[in-house]
Every structure is written in structure tokens, then in C-alpha cells.
Amino acid sequence: MSAAPWQREWQTAIREPAELIDALKLDPALVTPARRAAEGFELRVPRAFLERIEPGNPRDPLLQQVLPVDLETGTPPDFVKDPVGDGASLQNGGVIHKYHGRALLIATGACAINCRYCFRRHFPYAEANASTGQWRNALAYLQGDTSLHEVILSGGDPLSLADRRLSALAEALQAIPHLRRLRIHSRLPVVLPSRVDDDLLAWLAGGRLTPVMVIHANHPNELDDRVGSAMRRLQAAGVRLFNQTVLLRDINDDAAVLTELSERLFSIGVQPYYLHLLDRVEGAGHFEVDERRACQVMQALASQLPGYLLPRLVREVAGEPWKVPIDWSGGC
């Protein structure tokens, strides 16, 4: 079977720092520190995403999300490998069950893009991954807990898997009577919008479970015309669309940037959902925005947007039964 167009695009992603730096006409002196940082967490950037980065600009907000830098090797002591407590909630078969009524499947460890702030950059995907054993253990766990109404496919990125595998999984999930919704957490429709094709829409929107997709965009520059077209196709197929954003220092910790992001999202049919404070994962300390600054940004954002375009400011705290909301109204 020949590869789909999106798979061919993914296979040509840039994985060598020198190639990325040369393609963007950046200072060659960046290559050595980028290679050093990439030893701990490899570089991966699809060319469709590369096209949205401004050549010659080392401060480009999209470039900063993907370029390995030396700061990743100098981690503060309170930044850890598992900042959100995934390990403690991990069940047999790659299921993470933290919250009432819903459980998350680690469908794969693969991603189309390696974001440098990724909270699962140290996750043991080889041992904890629902696709091992053809989903049997994960499905058995979901079948056995009738309090579950929603299953969330995550990763890595679940949409990095082929549609024939995802279609088979979706069919098996539909056969579990107490499930009502199938939620996909994916960055692929943003970084590789060709992923939204007829085969994807056929299995995602063609079953009993209500389809929900939570995409991940941090900056309005990520939302080009191809992304807009992909979102409209998903919306037309009946997929409920939401976005989650991570608040990142010198990238989007600015009310004007986040205002434009919410406006663009809504214009392409996506509801702003969460604005996450950074998960304190080892290697990502240089991205952190402190809570006081986050509250100032939210206050300014609230003065510019209607309430339905305001994302909820949250932090994930290991062991808590929900995302912890941050009360920004009083300035923290």
C-alpha cells in the first residue's frame, strides 16, 4: 500500500539542526549547541511548518518552539521528568486514568513535530503505549470501567498512526456501550494540515461516538490558509473543535498575540479552550512564564475579547482530580 500524501510529507521532516539552520538562513554558530541539545530530545520539524517561520529571524516565535538550545541542558531543580504525574496514573495497556468519566490512551510515542517544551519529552513510550498488543489491554481496561464515558487518544500524537489502524481502534471503542465520546488530542492538523484527508474523516466522523478534536496552536502565525482549510473540513464533518495553548516566555506571553490567536481560531471554527501554565518538565525551564505575569496577560486579554473567546488559565498538578484553574481576576 502506497503512503498517503501526509505520510510522505512527514517522512521528509527536518531532523538535522544544520539543515534547519541553513534552510532558515540563520547563524551557523547555532548548529553546535542545537546538536548538543538534540542529543537529549531530537529535532523534528515538518516542512509545512518550516514555511511559516521567518528566515533570518532567530527570535521567530515558531522557531523558538522547535530549535534545540543549550538552555535545555541547564534545568532548575524543581523541573522533573514527569511533572504531571502520568506515571502514577498509568494502567496496564498504556491507559492514563486521572479524571472521573474519561481516560487517556497513549496511542503512540511518535509526533510530527518535537516541541521543545513537551511535557512528555521523557515519557517511557517503549514500555507504556496502548498500541503494543494491538490495543487488547487498553480496550479491556475501558470495557471494565463503566464509569468511563469518554476516551482520549493522545501520545506522542495519535494522528501519526495510519488511518487503517485508527479506524480499527475506533470500531473497537464504538463497541464499548458506556462510551459516548471519542476525543483526539493532536498537533498534526496544525503542523501538517494535509493529515486531514478523506480517510481520516471517514473513521473519525462515521461512527457512533461523538467526535471531538483538541488541537494545539500557540501563536497566530501557526494558522495559515492550509490549517484553516483543514479545520473547516473537520467542522463540516461534525467534529467539535477546541484549541489548547501553552503560555511560553517571549513567544506568546502577550495579550495582543493571544487576542489574535483566539480571533483566528474562532474564524476557522475552533473554540479557544485552555491556556496552560508550563508543565515543569526537565529541559523546558527557559519557557516558563510566572503566575503573576500570566494573570496580567489574562486581565489584558479579558479587556480585549468577549468571554466566549477567552481560554481558561489552568495548571496541571499531579494528583489533583482536575485541571487547576488560576484565579487571575485579582491579579494573582
Per the structure block, which three cell numbers stand in for 266? 474562532
pLDDT at 1: 65
For residues 20 and 50, is the Cβ–Cβ distance under 8 A? yes
Provide φ and ψ at 243, rounded to 5°. -130, 140
pTM: 0.95
For residues 321 and 100, is the Cβ–Cβ distance under 8 A? yes
Cα 327 to Cα 299: distance, rounded to the nearest angstrom: 10
CA 320 to chain centre: 21
Residues 6+ apart with CB under 8 A from 23: 14, 50, 55
Please give the chain's pLDDT, 332 residues, in tens: 688 999 999 999 999 999 999 999 999 999 999 999 999 899 999 999 999 999 999 999 999 999 999 999 877 888 988 888 888 888 877 899 999 999 999 999 899 999 999 988 888 776 666 665 668 999 999 999 999 999 999 988 999 999 999 999 999 999 999 999 999 999 999 999 999 999 999 999 999 999 999 999 999 999 999 999 999 999 999 999 999 999 999 999 999 999 999 999 999 999 999 999 999 999 999 999 999 999 999 999 999 999 999 999 999 998 888 889 999 987 66
Cα 76 to Cα 278: distance, rounded to the nearest angstrom: 14
Q: Which of 32, 29, 34 is nearest to 15 (CA)?
A: 34
* Domains of the chain in sequence order: 86-325 (3.20.20.70)
pLDDT digits (tens, 9 = 90+) for 80-134: 888 888 888 888 778 999 999 999 999 998 999 999 999 888 887 766 666 656 6
Q: Which of 226, 189, 229, 194 is nearest to 211 (CA)?
A: 189
Element (H, E) at 49: helix 47-50
